[in-house]
Amino acid sequence: MSQIYDRVALIGLGLIASSMFWAIKRAGLAGEVTGYARSEATRDTARRIGLCDRVCDTAREAVECADLVVLCVPVGAMGAVAEDIAAVLKPGATVSDVGSVKRHVIQAVQPHIPEGVHFIPAHPLAGTEHSGPESGFAELFDNRWCLLVPVEGSDPDAVARLRALWEGMGSSVDEMDADHHDLVLAVTSHAPHLIAYTMVGVADDLRRVTDSEVIKYSAAGFRDFTRIAASDPTMWRDVFLSNKDATLEILGRFTEELFALQRAIRTGDGEHLFDYFTRTRAIRRGIIDAGQDTDAPDFGRGKASS
């Protein structure tokens, strides 16, 4: 793989940024990768483990002379970071991000992007339950989708170059507009996360069942929910606050359907339940056929246990 950018700056050094660094290095996609994190402890950790070619003490220093700047901070912090670095952005550079919400990020970041700098929002659909600079690994994006969300007037050459970077990091790349992105993600990620958080919270509240029982006997089902509900609280707070409308729409539909199933349970309508459960099985089949998960037996123990 050949070099795509001379210099890449990663702002924020959590799971996604650290994985990007290792994936860029694996394929030799950039000459130098600089990094910045707000917390001194994170910068120290990054220096200790060799994360980034150069870790800078300010975002501005990291961004200077960069051909690509990727904002890898929580969605709620994107606007302030963009404002901070705007004055030192190199003419012709590209600014991108990895936020899970796109409409809100565009509203927060675009006003700060100077004339002559390209802004191309992006969202890699990859993650684990872990966070922080030590959680990254080069393979995170392999065979996962990265969605580019070009804004009006995005330069096609700059978009093609960013696409090449993500493909070089192992991703498949698609483009869509911001509102559709936010709705698709509300269905496939944001609402499921809120639901998982809720169910885990309910278990914690229920005093007739002790915490130790919930933990000890957590079978498939709840155990998968706890994995989802272990994701970074700051990131997810920002996701829900900034993708409010789409998330609330999906949750509204969810509640409606849940009430219908509850009524079927209460009235003993087994046929309704059976038909519903049969339909959802087909969707699972589709995901496996699309190569987005495996159906290998996991010995009832969850991920990566083999």
**Interaction with its own copies in 58-77: which residues (CB under 8 A)?**
76
> Which of these ranges, 30-38, 55-63, 81-89, 192-200, lies near its own copies under the rule CB under 8 A?
192-200
Closer CB to its own copies, 9 or 228, in the complex: 228
Angle between helices 178-185 and 244-267 (to 10 degrees): 30
Return the SS3 of 88.
helix
> Which of these ranges, 42-50, 61-69, 77-85, 179-187, lies near its own copies under the rule CB under 8 A?
179-187
3-state helix, strand, coil in the chain (%, to 5): 50, 10, 35
Give yes or no for a contact between 18 and 136, defined as CB atoms under 8 angstroms apart: yes
Residue given tokens 């339940």 in the structure block: 273
Give CA–CA dist 166/153, Å, rounded.
21
> Which of these ranges, 2-10, 24-32, 46-54, 137-145, lies near its own copies under the rule CB under 8 A?
137-145
Instruction: Tell me: does residue 48 bind its own copies (CB under 8 A).
Output: no
Give yes or no for a contact between 296 and 216, defined as CB atoms under 8 angstroms apart: no
Closer CB to its own copies, 66 or 147, in the complex: 147
Give CA–CA dist 83/109, Å, rounded.
8
Residue of 130, 151, 164, 175 interacting with its own copies (CB under 8 A): 130
Closer CB to its own copies, 89 or 200, in the complex: 200
Q: Which residues between 206 and 225 bind its own copies (CB under 8 A)?
A: 206, 208-209, 211, 213-225
Instruction: Tell me: does residue 204 bind its own copies (CB under 8 A).
Output: yes
Instruction: Tell me: does residue 26 bind its own copies (CB under 8 A).
Output: no
Instruction: Tell me: does residue 184 bind its own copies (CB under 8 A).
Output: yes
Contacts of 269 (CB under 8 A, 6+ apart): 263
Q: Tell me the residue ranges of DSSP E strands in 230-297.
A: none
Residue of 31, 50, 111, 270 interacting with its own copies (CB under 8 A): 270
Instruction: Tell me: does residue 126 bind its own copies (CB under 8 A).
Output: yes
Angle at 169 between CA 76 and CA 164, to 5 degrees: 90
